[in-house]
Amino acid sequence: MRRKIPSTQALACFEAAARHESYTRAAEELALTQSAVSRQIGALEAFMGLALFRRTRHGVQLTAAGADYARQIRRQLDAMERDTLDAMARQGAGGSLQLAAVPTLATRWLIPRLPLLAQAHPDITVHIETQTRPFLFNDTPFDAALYTGTPQQAAT
């Protein structure tokens, strides 16, 4: 059975353009021409039968449907990337640990300790995502999120 799924190239172009709200910046990120990104997104919109962007004289803006689809696609592309990296790292063995941390904690505390973890558990692949906004476990597949603070702050 043939699946009704757009090409991964079109999805990657759409996700980058949605994140930047710019075909030009998406093209720079993906090492493509602006025209190629525009064609991929046009093909995706034709495939779906709906407008994902509103073209303005200042560039592009996501439509409501485009913003919703971008959130969904971003999660799916992130999951595909993690699964691919896990398969490459494991080569049939081990596991993975998905960690989330604020950038300062990750760079000053977590990352310097990763060699010790790798030495003790060489079969585990660690993925770290940093962000400054709260981590929502319903939206992301983290195993743990690391924060610093007082015990009272941890209870809230």
Q: What is the pLDDT of residues 29-57, one digit of tens each?
A: 999 999 999 999 999 999 999 999 999 98
CATH number of 8-74: 1.10.10.10
pLDDT tier at 91 (50, 70, 90 boundaries)?
Answer: low
Q: Do strands 124-130 and 95-101 pair parallel, antiparallel, or not at all (unpaired)?
A: parallel
- Give the integer Cα–Cα distance in Å for 16 and 7: 14
Distances (CA, A) of 118 to 82, 104, 122: 18, 21, 5
Sequence letter at residue 81: E
Q: If we measure between CA atoms, which residue out of 53, 51, 47, 49 comes closest to residue 16? A: 53
Burial pattern 85-106, b for ≥16 Cβ within 10 A else e, equals eeeebeeeeeebebbbbbeeeb
Burial pattern 50-72, b for ≥16 Cβ within 10 A else e, equals eebbeeeeeebebeeebeebbee
- What's the pLDDT at 93? 62
Q: What percent of the chain has pLDDT over 70?
A: 93
- What's the pLDDT at 142? 82
- Give the integer Cα–Cα distance in Å for 78 and 100: 14
Q: Which residues of the chain form CATH 1.10.10.10?
A: 8-74
CA dihedral 18, 19, 23, 24 (to 10 degrees): 180
Domain 93-155: CATH class, spelled out: alpha beta
Q: Which residues of the chain form CATH 3.40.190.10?
A: 93-155
Token readout for 146 is 């690391």
Mean pLDDT (whole number) for 105-123: 89
Q: What are phi and psi of 101, to 5 degrees?
A: -155, 155
